[in-house]
């Protein structure tokens, strides 16, 4: 085993969309675990939209990555050394190891994995934070009922695809929104959506709204919010009375910071608030890290469905830590197909 690890740090804060110049690829000695810690050789790491927010020095629900700090993120890998009871070398674990080939972690913060139950990479997607986010947001705040209509954008991503599949299994009409005809085909053929709309085929919210109205002729009861922007503007007038909007993310605005350039004008706040009022809408923002106490319930519900094939997943795997920045930049542009991972070994 080499005595060097590789990691990617935040070189500078992006102004708009991240570029390769915002990242540094560095090497350092492999760290030694302290008492109560484990040393892990990371096999796969996850790339997720929330990481863009960590690159900004802005007040949020979590502290930003400091300049020179290792980019944060989840990973799965093999325990190389352990200074704790209950976890031994050779165990496969999940943890927040960052963009790095090796990492130490407090043993209390890692979770042992069983490769016989599901592929190890599932812990980064369908059986990890993204899948849990979709399941929890839909069931807790979407409150789905048979016969209702659900709309979710980024429908082929790990969150959107989970939302669509769980909703479909509960007897809802599911309408996905995705970028491109290939992704829309995946949404219907792989993930079972009743319909999918290519948002790239619609230049503005009005055109997108017309297509949505045709796909959801009885209106929209649940809109699972992942993207903001023109999708949100298209959806709001189509919401049914007593509709529910779990707010998970706003990826279309992340690169602009905060609400994003033009967001206030796009949303027409008075009209938005009036619609919420007169249609009795429930809009509920949530951060999944506040709800880890529900994770065992999620696993008990969803893991058997993944094992049986009732819940499908797609992974987009980049090769090598050096390619993580490019893959992340592509993720923010919607270039990935399915859960974006980076294979490190």
What span, in angstroms and rounded, lies between the C-alpha atoms of 164 and 167?
A: 5
| CATH topology match: 4-125+313-343 vs 129-288 | no
Spell out the residues 6+ positions from residue 50 whose beta carbon is closer than 8 angstroms to its own: 249
CATH number of 129-288: 3.40.50.720
Tens of pLDDT, residue by residue over 162-211, are 999 999 999 999 999 999 999 999 999 999 999 999 999 998 989 999 99
Mean pLDDT over the full length of the chain: 92
What span, in angstroms and rounded, lies between the C-alpha atoms of 145 and 309?
A: 23
What residue spans define the domains of the chain?
4-125+313-343, 129-288
Tens of pLDDT, residue by residue over 94-145, are 999 999 999 999 999 999 999 888 899 999 999 999 999 999 999 999 999 9
**Residue in 35, 33, 9 with CA at minimum distance from that of residue 22:** 9
Tens of pLDDT, residue by residue over 143-174, are 999 999 999 999 999 999 999 999 999 999 99
CATH superfamily placement of domain 4-125+313-343: Medium-chain alcohol dehydrogenases, catalytic domain (3.90.180.10)
Q: How confident is the model at residue 262 (pLDDT cuts 50, 70, 90)?
A: very low
Q: What pLDDT shows up at residue 171?
A: 98
């Amino acid at each position: 085993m080499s005595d060097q690890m590789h990691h990617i740090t935040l070189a500078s804060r992006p102004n708009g969309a991240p570029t390769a110049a915002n990242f540094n690829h560095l090497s350092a000695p492999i760290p030694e675990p302290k008492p109560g810690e484990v040393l892990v050789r990371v096999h796969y790491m996850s790339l997720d939209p929330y990481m863009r927010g960590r690159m900004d020095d802005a007040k949020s629900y979590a502290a930003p990555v400091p300049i020179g700090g290792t980019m944060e993120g989840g990973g799965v890998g093999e325990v190389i050394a352990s200074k704790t009871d209950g976890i031994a070398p050779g165990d496969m674990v999940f943890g927040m190891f960052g963009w790095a080939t090796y990492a130490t972690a407090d043993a209390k913060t890692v979770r042992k994995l069983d490769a016989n139950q599901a592929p190890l990479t599932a812990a980064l997607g369908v059986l990890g934070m993204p899948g849990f986010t979709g399941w929890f947001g839909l069931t807790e705040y979407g409150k789905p009922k048979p016969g209702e209509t659900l709309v979710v954008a980024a429908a082929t991503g790990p969150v959107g695809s989970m939302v669509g599949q769980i909703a479909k299994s509960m007897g809802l009409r599911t309408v996905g929104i995705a970028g491109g005809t290939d992704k829309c085909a995946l949404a219907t053929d792989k993930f079972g959506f009743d319909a999918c709309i290519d948002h790239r085929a619609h230049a503005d919210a009005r055109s997108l709204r017309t297509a949505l109205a045709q796909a959801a002729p009885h209106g929209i009861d649940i809109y699972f919010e992942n993207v903001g922007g023109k999708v949100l503007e298209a959806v709001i007038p189509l919401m049914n009375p007593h509709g529910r909007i779990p707010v998970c993310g706003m990826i279309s605005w992340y690169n602009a910071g905060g609400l994003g350039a033009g967001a206030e004008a796009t949303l027409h706040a008075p009209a938005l608030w009036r619609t919420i009022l007169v249609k009795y809408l429930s809009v509920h923002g949530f951060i999944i890290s506040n709800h880890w106490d529900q994770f065992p319930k999620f696993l008990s519900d969803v893991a058997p469905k993944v094992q049986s094939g009732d819940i499908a997943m797609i992974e987009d795997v980049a090769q090598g830590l050096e390619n993580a920045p490019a893959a992340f930049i592509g993720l923010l542009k919607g270039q990935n197909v399915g859960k974006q991972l980076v294979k490190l070994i």
